[in-house]
Amino acid sequence: MVTELGEPVDIIKLLQMSWEDRLRVALGMARILVKLAHSSHGSLAMNDFRRQQFVLVDGVLKLADVDDVTAGEPTCNEEADCLQRHPDTNLTLGGKCINHCCSEFNERRNIMNGGRQFVSFFLEHGVPRSLLPLVMKLSSIYTNVTGNTRQLSEVTETLAHMYINGSYLDYSTLKKHRTLYKVIHDADLPGMFDYRCQLTLSANGCSFSVFNVREAEEVCSADTYCKAFILAKEKTWTGRTIVHLKNNFTTPVRTTGSLIYVKPQPG
């Protein structure tokens, strides 16, 4: 038996995560749902599908409690036997009655519950604007069960791929910021001029992950408090660079290899 130490999952923890970390949770959920639908034991149903059944291991969502997982679809004599209404969601699940089994019923119920407990409520907040249509499509699959787990997984993987490779960025908009920032070489602002902002990665400052310097410039330009930013050496799970926004840039500390990008001042 192999064991892993994980953190409990609750709604507050999920909502306090950066959008990038919530995307990783959504990826984990999609992959778990595919495994449940296409296991070596056939289609599996999670009869007690709650956040408490899962843990986060280094930010990756994993199923920890399988006591209420059962194999096999519900039995039926006709398609009406496969209909199940869920008053909390105003959704009626159904499926074709094939060989006295409700085909794809477990898969559809797991998708619905995965949305209720996780993905449907947390991906829209903080999503990059150009990725919103894809997030809405994913939310519809979870909320209305408009696809199967392979389709759900495909949309989720596409969403992650676009975010990781930067293809969601509109460089026609970002281009005007590219050459306007002044660069101070071999300088840093450690522990200075930090401020709090929404969806920050840092507990003490305003930090985001960016695809490149051009995206960092756009983030800083859109924030009235930001006067400069520093690209950190740390990377996130997607390989993106962490940027620290600063509300001033005076008295920098000499640090070999570090760069301060100063926002152009109006006038």
Residues classed as catalytic: 48
What one-character DSSP code corresponds to residue 74?
P
Tokens of 105: 């019923």
Residue 151's nearest CA partner among 161, 165, 141 is: 141
d(CA 151, CA 221): 37
What one-character DSSP code corresponds to residue 117?
I
The single-letter code of the amino acid at 10 is: D
What one-character DSSP code corresponds to residue 264?
P
Residues in the chain: 267
The single-letter code of the amino acid at 78 is: E
Tokens of 128: 């990059």
For residues 246, 252, 257 and 258, what is the CA-based torsion angle, rounded to 10 degrees?
0
Q: Which residues contact 192 (CB under 8 A, 6 or more apart)?
A: 246, 248, 251
Beta carbons of 36 and 44 less than 8 angstroms apart: yes
Beta carbons of 91 and 112 less than 8 angstroms apart: yes
d(CA 255, CA 99): 71
d(CA 201, CA 208): 6
